[in-house]
Structure 1
């Protein structure tokens, strides 16, 4: 994926500061009331077939700027990252870097109804802003980082 693909795939591209975080178990399954087996292949399989619960760290991000989407400056949005410590168990997403409270980021997000937004991917969708206002990829393995940083400048 290159920088243009990343931007095109995002529903929201925002700059904001992480104000707080909490760990939650979130069911990300898409509920379907359809009895049509094509539309709902799990119909009749019981509740267990619908369970798509995962542990996420949910960040409260105060939006400062919006490059894409309808998020307003000052709005606080929720952004989820897979993993966190939940009920004494630690859950990790391999290769992911957790975002930090009080840091400012440019994020490429996918928004959904009824659940917090997600980073498009763990490697290429987050850029931290330094004290001089310049952005750098959060993940040093991000191969498109310099290209995205140019777009954000």
Structure 2
């Protein structure tokens, strides 16, 4: 199964014009070494409940970032006749951008616990997010949530054969695992950790007990 998503890319080439400052032009008119900035936005389905989110994900893991890199990927390679993905580009370069290798930040995740999917503790998997800079080309994606090496995360993912996994969406699919606050430890002795959303706009927060239930259902279908 594939995500329905729309990626909008607004392309501009930025260069210095004496005292005027910066000016936007099309890539074809810019010098070959001019920085190119691409403003991207993504539109993913949202989910009304933790159950709907977990049902849609083929992989749910807890883990931490052990490596980060930026790479150009042509994600059209993952499309097939049933793929609903659409790419929209603004400006006169639409035809050129249809085959553009988009720039992704790719995180290598060390799995510490698996709730759903084929991965187990100790495995590594890669997760990509649109955005990053390679050479003179930068994709700016305001929806991207940066993953930090010092934090533990719970990720709701869709995995692929030929490209790194993706979060189901930028709002509801990434959670930070934190120690239980000392003030709450007396009433929550059975839980040493709590889960909070990495995105403040998220209206869903799975509990550790819900994640354990997902894990149990996978172990005993």
Is TM > 0.5 for Structure 1 vs Structure 2?
yes
**Which ranges of structure 2 fall in alignment gaps of 5 or more residues?**
1-46, 83-95, 181-192, 213-221
Q: Is the counterpart of residue 69 in structure 1 residue 117 in structure 2?
A: yes
Match of 1:13 in 2: 60
Q: Distance in 2 between matches of 1:82 and 1:55?
A: 6
- 1:16-56 alpha-carbon deviations (Å, 9 max, x no partner): 01111001111111368x9xxx88xxxxxxxx697252111
**Runs of at least 5 residues in structure 1 that lack an aligned partner in the other structure:** 40-47
Instruction: State the 1:94 CA deviation.
Output: 2.3
Which structure has the higher relative contact order (CA within 8 Å, separation 6+)? 1
CA distance in 1, matches of 2:100, 2:113: 32
- Residue in structure 1 matched with residue 50 of structure 2 by the alignment: 3
| Pair 1:149-2:207 in alignment | yes
Superposition misfits of 4+ residues, deviation over 4 angstroms:
none
Question: How many residue pairs are counted as aligned between the two chains?
Answer: 139
Q: Calculate the aligned-residue CA RMSD, in Å.
A: 2.4
State the TM-score, normalizing by the size of structure 1.
0.80
- Which secondary structure does the structure 2 equivalent of 1:143 belong to? coil
Q: In proportion to residue count, which structure has more helix?
A: 2
Output aligned runs, 1:3-152, within 5 Å.
3-30=50-77, 51=99, 53-132=101-180, 133-145=193-205, 148-149=206-207, 151-152=210-211
